Amino acid sequence: MADPVTRPVAEPAPVALDTPRWLVSLWTYGPSALPLLIGAIALLSMAPGDSLTWWLMAAVATAVALAIRLRWPFAAWTLSQVVVLSGVVPDNSGAYLLLLMVPVLPLAALSAAWPARRSVPAAIATMLVLALVAQQVSGVGGGGTDRTAINLALALALPGMASIAAWLVGYSLHTRRRYSDALLERALWLERERDAQSARAVAEERTRIARELHDVVSHNVAVMVVQASAADAVWETAPDRARNALRAVEETGRSAMRELRTMLQAMRGEDDEAAGAQRRAQQGLGRLGELVEHVRAAGLDVQLDVSGDLSRLGPAVDVSLLRVAQEALTNVLRHARATHAEVRVAVADERVALRVLDDGVGLAATRDEHDPLDPERRGGQGILGMRERVAVLGGTLTLGPGPAGGTAVEVLVPLRPAPDPVPSPAAPAT
């Protein structure tokens, strides 16, 4: 099965458009034929002496402006304004009045590409240029003109309405594009956040499994090693004691296999609710006496003192405190060279305290004298696991010298810790 941590992030597929390709090409390049058509009309209606050269240049320049309006909207808009301003000719050609409407297309493209604070001034400039040029070319307001007030209003209002309409179309496209970009950005962010949460969940689950395996295997293997060493030491001088030690090794191994099987069933979700409750009860501090007996069988004198009602402990606190006590006693067996240890559990009104004391050589001595190649000391998985368990419960763990020498492990946790708040990462700005 693919690892969700290393699974590549697939970007959302672009939205498929049903618009035919020919229609897209027509919208992109079709308007370029408009000035050529206007130029043809002008040539057909041109009187002798009219400026043929200007019309050819204006038609080509305007065609170029319309062709590049989607890729370079500002350049297209500027070029169209230059064509309009340079075309104030005295022939009052009706074709030129049609040419005045061409700049509204680059204006629409510019409004679609720019935000409103930049495109509004361009729309106002286009409106003024077209209105002034239309007024001058049409002869409205000049001396001797016979145009009526209605013609004057049309000459001034038509460029204004065309400019406003072009800006509204472009602004609508701009708003829709921003909305689409925001949706795409949020989709990508949600994809990354989902993968990050999956990666965190997998990492946390791996850490939890590693901690459980360490707690189950390390303690039982440590007891088996001690018992096997004892059996080897008295094999010839005290065969009965050696056999008892080997039986203890066998029983400890079977116990480890049962714990591993139970843990795997819980991880696979194979146990029902009743079995799960029984399993949690068997893994809690109710097994502390059995744990102490195993350690005593390994040759360490352990005193157990429990005060308070253990049934008040929540399942997480109950199981975690047993694992901490198990790890602490395992460290005493493996490293402390102690002869006596004490395990004390005190349940108060709001908190529960766990203390594990020994009369060994002390924590500093075990660190200095222990084999540096030992992965337990090199990686510190046991102590790290204890700290992680206590931190999850919202408690504190203190590890240091005991009051009468040796090492003291002290844990203080609330009876029922509050759940951790769920982090809420900030969404991308829209």
- Left, alpha or beta for 58 (phi > 0: left; psi -120 to 50: alpha)? alpha
Residue 367 pLDDT > 60: no
What kind and span of H or E run contains 154?
A: helix 149-233
Instruction: Give the CA diameter of the chain.
Output: 139
**Which range is least confidently modeled, 94-103, 137-146, 201-210, 339-348?**
137-146
Q: Model confidence over 148-201: pLDDT tens digits?
A: 556 566 666 777 788 888 888 888 888 888 888 888 888 888 888 888 888 888
E strands in 294-418 = 301-307, 340-347, 351-358, 396-401, 407-414
Give Cα separations from 375 to 229, 328, 370, 381 (angstroms).
21, 17, 11, 8
What pLDDT, on a 0 to 100 scale, did the predictor assign at position 377?
Answer: 46
What pLDDT, on a 0 to 100 scale, did the predictor assign at position 357?
Answer: 92
**pLDDT band for position 356 (50/70/90)?**
very high
d(CA 302, CA 289): 10
What pLDDT, on a 0 to 100 scale, did the predictor assign at position 12?
Answer: 41
Residue 345 pLDDT > 80: yes
What pLDDT, on a 0 to 100 scale, did the predictor assign at position 137?
Answer: 60
Q: How far is CA 31 from the centre of its chain?
A: 45
Domain boundaries, the chain: 21-192, 284-418
Give Cα separations from 156 to 95, 97, 139, 147 (angstroms).
17, 12, 12, 13
* Mean pLDDT on 344-360: 91
Buried b (16+ CB within 10 A) or exposed e, 104-122: bbbbbbbbbbbeeeebeeb
Residue 430 pLDDT > 80: no
Q: 273-283 vs 315-331: helix axis angle to the nearest 10?
A: 40
At position 130, the amino acid (one-letter code) is L
- For residue 277 the two structure tokens come to 């409750």
d(CA 337, CA 228): 17
Q: Model confidence over 60-89: pLDDT tens digits?
A: 777 777 777 778 888 888 888 887 777 655
Q: What are phi and psi of 167, to 5 degrees?
A: -65, -40
| Residue reference for tokens 């419960």 | 393
Helix (H, G, I), strand (E, B), or coil: what is residue 337?
coil
Task: Annotate 10-25 with DSSP letters as a single string.
Answer: PPPPPPPP-S-HHHHH
Between 345 and 363, name the one with better pLDDT: 345
d(CA 36, CA 33): 5
Q: What are phi and psi of 387, to 5 degrees?
A: -65, -40
| CATH number for the domain formed by residue range(s) 284-418 | 3.30.565.10
What is the pLDDT of the chain when averaged over all its residues?
Answer: 73
C-beta separation of 325 from 356 below 8 A: yes
Give Cα separations from 386 to 85, 211, 371, 390, 403 (angstroms).
82, 9, 22, 6, 21
**Which range is least confidently modeled, 48-52, 256-260, 310-314, 381-385?**
48-52
Q: Which of 27-31, 80-84, 113-117 has the highest mean pLDDT?
A: 113-117
Residue 6 pLDDT > 70: no
Buried b (16+ CB within 10 A) or exposed e, 283-311: bbbebbeebbebbebbebebebeeeeebe
In percent, how much of the chain has pLDDT > 70?
A: 65
What pLDDT, on a 0 to 100 scale, did the predictor assign at position 346?
Answer: 92
| pTM for this entry | 0.47
* Mean pLDDT on 11-32: 51
C-beta separation of 265 from 271 below 8 A: yes
In this structure, the strands spanning 301-307 and 340-347 are parallel
* Mean pLDDT on 23-38: 56
**Which range is least confidently modeled, 79-93, 232-246, 318-332, 377-391?**
79-93
**pLDDT band for position 103 (50/70/90)?**
confident
* Mean pLDDT on 364-371: 50
Residue 372 pLDDT > 60: no
